[in-house]
Amino acid sequence: MRIIPAIDIIDGKCVRLTKGDYSTKKVYNENPLEVAKEFEAQGIQYLHLVDLDGAKAKHIVNHKVLHEIASKTSLQVDFGGGLKSDEDLAIAFDNGAAQITGGSIAAKEPKVFLRWLDKYSAAKIILGADCLNRRIATQGWTKDSGLDVMDFITQYVERGIRQVICTDISKDGMLQGPSLELYEEILAINHIKLIASGGVSSMDDLRRLKEIGCEGAIVGKAIYEGNISLEELAAFNGELSKN
């Protein structure tokens, strides 16, 4: 299982929200590159970078932060937030994204998202399936699309998507554990590589996600609040590489 720390960006700063609520913003570092370099120094290879300004503005905003991290570290960055057009996607890849995550666009404009999948391949395009009460949320989690999370994921896996990031919004930033039951249900879908996101509060949570078969796990607030140390993540990564 891949360990993927998260950096969420507002005004160029590293922040975290609770349940996606912008009014709960807490700034953890004014310089996201410093944070990324700390991850890299502990042997972390992957980063989930979210442009929260972009998610609100409906177009990419913090591409300069992406460029700085991608050009000054060896981290493989998956980038999401506000990617709504071919131009947004080109900007993300031109600024160093190894992959992009599309959520709102996949819910609202499936033809555009499928065109991206055809053009860039399933290795580059990740489906973002962020849900509240099993319904897909869009526009920085501010809108209910009415789409069932299982139906949403299944239809895209049938069209060639392989990697899916699923966040249960009710768990995000709460440090109360991930949605294991939901993830087990999703993992029953053939050919899926599930990246769990939201609620990870301890190393035990990560071990459970590995046990049920998640391909990756995104860790955010648990790092910033000190529940999980980077040294613990590095040791866990070492365990994973031996298995």
Determine contact, residues 202/228, Cβ cutoff 8 Å: yes
Q: What is the pLDDT of residue 173?
A: 75
In the structure, what pLDDT confidence band is assigned to residue 12 with cuts at 50, 70 and 90? Answer: very high
Number of domains in the chain: 1
Residues 6 or more apart from 148 whose CB is under 8 A from it? 134, 135, 136
pLDDT digits (tens, 9 = 90+) for 44-74: 999 999 999 998 899 999 999 999 999 999 9
Write out the two tokens for 36.
């990324």
Write out the two tokens for 139.
């526009």
Q: What is the pLDDT of residue 141?
A: 72
For 3, phi then psi, to 5°, come to: -95, 125
pLDDT digits (tens, 9 = 90+) for 185-223: 999 999 999 999 999 999 999 999 999 999 999 999 999
Q: Catalytic residue, from 88, 130, 168, 172: name it.
A: 130
Rounded-to-integer distance, Cα 148 and Cα 171, Å: 18
Predicted model pTM: 0.95
Q: What is the pLDDT of residue 26?
A: 94
Catalytic status, residue 53: no
CATH number at residue 91: 3.20.20.70
Q: What is the pLDDT of residue 2?
A: 95
Write out the two tokens for 202.
């301890």
Catalytic status, residue 148: no
What one-letter code names the amino acid at 160? G
Q: Catalytic residue, from 8, 53, 88, 205: name it.
A: 8
In the structure, what pLDDT confidence band is assigned to residue 241 with cuts at 50, 70 and 90? Answer: confident
In the structure, what pLDDT confidence band is assigned to residue 232 with cuts at 50, 70 and 90? Answer: very high
Write out the two tokens for 82.
């506000």
Residue predicted with more confidence, 170 or 174: 170
Determine contact, residues 55/81, Cβ cutoff 8 Å: yes
Determine contact, residues 45/36, Cβ cutoff 8 Å: no
Rounded-to-integer distance, Cα 59 and Cα 3, Å: 28
Write out the two tokens for 189.
């879908």
Q: What is the pLDDT of residue 236?
A: 93
DSSP state at residue 66 = H
What is the helix (H) or strand (E) element at residue 193, kind and residue range? strand 193-197
Rounded-to-integer distance, Cα 10 and Cα 20, Å: 12
Rounded to the nearest 5 percent, the helix, strand and coil shares of the chain are 40, 30, 30
Domain with 211, as residue range(s), is 2-242
Does residue 175 surpass a pLDDT of 90? no
